[in-house]
Amino acid sequence: MSSCMCGSGREFDDCCAPFLAGAPAPTAEALMRSRYSAYTLGQFDHIERTDAPEARADFNRAEVERSAVGTTWLGLKVVRVVGGGVDDQTGQVEFIFRYQQHGKIHAQHELSHFRYDDGLWWYESSDMNPKSPPVRVEKVGRNDPCACGSGKKAKKCCGARSEG
C-alpha cells in the first residue's frame, strides 16, 4: 500500500482508488481529490467521466495528454471547502496544486464548482486564482459607543490609548 497522492494522508487503496475504478464519490472534496489523483496517474477517463455534460464540451483530451508529458506532480493542498457534503446539492473546493514541468516548478490556485445530480457528484467549472471577498472595515469614532458592548464611549474603553 502507498499513501494517496491527493494529500489526504490515507492509503491510496482506501482513498481515491475506488473512485478511479468507478465508485461514486460521496462528497465534492472526494471527487476533486480523485480528479487530482487521476491527473497524476494519467487516468484521463476519470476526468472526462466526472465532468458535468456542459464541462465535458471544454475537455480537450489531446491537449491534456500532451501537457501531462514531462509533468511531475508535487502535491495538493485543499484550502477551503464550502458545501459539497453528503446532504448538499452543490459544493466548492478551493485548492492549490504544485507541479514541475520542463524543469520549472509551478503552482496553480483554483476554486472548483461541483453539483450533485442523479446520485453523483459532477465537476462543473473552476475559477483560476480566486479572490477573497473584500473585507469591509468600519471606522469607529472616538465618541461612538465601544464595539465591545460596554456602553462606554470608544475613547474611554477599548479605543483608549495606553499611556506609559
pLDDT (tens digit per residue) in 110-156 = 999 999 999 999 999 999 988 766 667 777 777 888 877 788 887 78
Residue 164 has a pLDDT of 37
129 exposure class (CB count in 10 Å sphere: 0-12, 13-18, 19+): exposed
pLDDT digits (tens, 9 = 90+) for 82-103: 999 999 999 999 999 999 998 9
Written as one string, the DSSP assignment of 89-146 is SEEEEEEEEEEEETTEEEEEEEEEEEEEETTEEEEEEEEESPPPPPPP--PPPTTSBP
Residue 143 has a pLDDT of 81
pLDDT digits (tens, 9 = 90+) for 41-72: 999 999 999 999 999 989 999 999 999 999 99
Residue 162 has a pLDDT of 41
Residue 130 has a pLDDT of 83
Total-model pTM: 0.79
**Contact of 156 with 144, CB cutoff 8 Å:** no
Rounded alpha-carbon distances, angstroms, from residue 61 to 39, 46, 103, 116, 140: 12, 11, 23, 24, 55
